[in-house]
Amino acid sequence: MFGRGHLAGIDLAHDLSTQDHLADTRERRKAMKTGIDERHWTEKPLNEMRERDWRIFREDFSISARGGQIPHPLRSWVESSIPPQILECIEKIGYKEPSPIQRQAIPIGLMKRDVIGIAETGSGKTAAFVIPMLAFISSLPPFTEDNRHLGPYALILAPTRELAQQIETESKKFAGPLGFKCVSIVGGRAVEEQQFNLREGAEIIIATPGRLKDVIERHVLVLSQCRYVVMDEADRMVHLGFEADLTFILDKLPAETMAGEDQSMDVDSEGQLRAKGRSRVTTLFSATMPPAVERLARKYLKKPAVITIGEAGRAVDTVEQKVEFVSGEERKKQKLLEILNSNLYAPPIIVFVNQKKTADMVAKDLQRANWSTSTLHSGKTQEQREASLQALRDGHADVLVATDLAGRGIDVQDVSLVVNYQMASTIEAYVHRIGRTGRAGKMGTAITFLTNEDDEVMYDLKQEISKSPVSKVPIELAKHEAAQHKVSREMKRKRDAEDQG
């Protein structure tokens, strides 16, 4: 009599399981004979991983790391050496798998090594530096009346108040359950309010360089016991003119904790730091490495591990990039409404422009077309900016119209579409803009309106789109004269002068 669920008396599930076991056994025997185990790393337990497997692993996640004594990346959270109390936080927050930058930066950070991370936009950088930072300060003496006035244990620097507050929100998810206090020090708020927030001390300070320099000069805060420093989006901080402020802040750190070039430090055979008097860890994240950022790294980081995820400064592969050649303001308005009314893209949606007056104009046009809209630009107070972002997050606004001021700081989940109503002036700014969508592994779309006035960035834009596996360079851009070679401002001025002459 045939059994239930069997075909002709054969238990298919048992048969397939047996076949898998036999196949696995055959692979093992073949490996013993040839010395090569051809099973993919996903099929192996951690203790059977060989250098070939780790090489394939890094290729699978586009991870490149250099600097000597680089530890293996994380395959999963449970296989990591992250302290159990932090692993509990990770589980409660709901992080399923580490992102590529987290896979490599966390093991290096847990070694108390300096790190330079060059990672794609929207790649999970915050957790990549917050987790090692919390593991580090967990080993330090708890805050008491005797030491809380000496300043924070950890300092995170970010280019904009929006990004600083985003980092603060993310950090609190981990720091709160561990009993650590996070405080942000940013512009747009009264110094007195921030002084009040610091009255009982805070283990972690998240700040913009300009405001932090201000509170240090006013003697509101000292950095006498700061042992862990993170510079997030260092290239953006330099671009905004904060290099001198960064130098001022880093020079305020206690002399014995500096990682200057003359300090002796080695990595021992087990990958642990050995340094005379060394007691500070510095981490620097940047999308690109311009000369000013390299200067900072040389001066303040000691023998750092350098991690590159994907291609430095390149947009994530989860964003489909599209281009529309649109001439004239009226045609732009019409095209924007066509896209929004197509029902192809669900809110939240972000529209980027270059000037605050354009932001207000576009927002009014959308409101007249019955789109609920909020704006984000330098003409808004800090409270208004936060309210605009919250309206988008809560669904009270479907579209956010923003300038580049907030391009790096916007953190809104599930943005389906970014529209560059005006093309960014640099390809770096373009990459940061479109990185607001396609986050957390989800697909997104970026549509850019181009005019002939954008010829300075057409070549770079064509190159950027051509690198994307989910995007196609439109023929009009591919064949455009300005997209055949880079056009500098000097070349453009000469050409315009010749046209007028």
C-alpha closest to that of 283 among 102, 33, 161, 150 = 102
pLDDT in tens, 264-279: 334 333 334 343 444 7
- Say what the pTM is: 0.61
Percent of the chain with pLDDT over 70: 81
Predicted pLDDT at 271:
38
Residue 17 above 60 pLDDT?
no
pLDDT in tens, 355-379: 999 999 999 999 999 999 999 998 8
Q: What is the DSSP string of 421-486?
A: SS--SSHHHHHHHHTTSS-TT--EEEEEEE-GGGHHHHHHHHHHHHH-TT----HHHHH-GGGSS-
Q: What is the DSSP string of 89-118?
A: HHHHHT--S--HHHHHHHHHHHTT--EEEE
Average pLDDT, stretch 461-487?
Answer: 90
Query: Cα separation of 322 and 345, whole Å?
Result: 14
Q: Identify the burial level of 67 via C-beta atoms within 10 angstroms of its C-beta, where 0-12 means exposed, 13-18 middle and 19 or more buried.
A: middle
Residue 159 above 50 pLDDT?
yes
Lowest-confidence segment of 12-16, 269-273, 310-314, 402-406 by average pLDDT = 269-273
Average pLDDT, stretch 67-71?
Answer: 90
Residue 251's H or E segment, with its range, is: helix 243-251
CATH class of 84-309: alpha beta
Residues 147, 162: contact at Cβ < 8 Å? no
Secondary structure in 3-state letters for 408-428: CCCCCCCCCEEEECCCCCCHH
Query: Are the folds of 84-309 and 319-500 the same?
Result: yes
Predicted pLDDT at 266:
41
For residue 352, the SS3 value is strand
What is the average pLDDT score of the chain?
Answer: 84
Domain 319-500 has CATH 3.40.50.300: yes
Amino acid identity, residue 193?
E
CB-side exposure of 441: number of CA atoms within 13 Å? 7
- Give the burial string for 252-261 (b: 16+ CB within 10 Å, else e): bbbeebbbee
C-alpha closest to that of 208 among 176, 170, 240, 172 = 240
C-alpha closest to that of 52 among 66, 40, 68 = 40
Residue 459 above 70 pLDDT?
yes
Q: Between 435 and 242, whose confidence is greater?
A: 242
Q: What is the DSSP string of 1-44?
A: -PPTT-BTTB-HHHHHHHHHHHHHHHHHHHHHHHS---S-GGGS
Residue 311: band (very low, low, confident or very high) from pLDDT cuts 50, 70, 90: low
Predicted pLDDT at 130:
96
C-alpha closest to that of 63 among 97, 100, 99, 98 = 100
Domain ranges of the chain: 12-64, 84-309, 319-500
Q: Between 303 and 18, whose confidence is greater?
A: 303
For residue 322, the SS3 value is strand
Residue 231 above 50 pLDDT?
yes
Residue 113: band (very low, low, confident or very high) from pLDDT cuts 50, 70, 90: very high
Average pLDDT, stretch 415-424?
Answer: 96
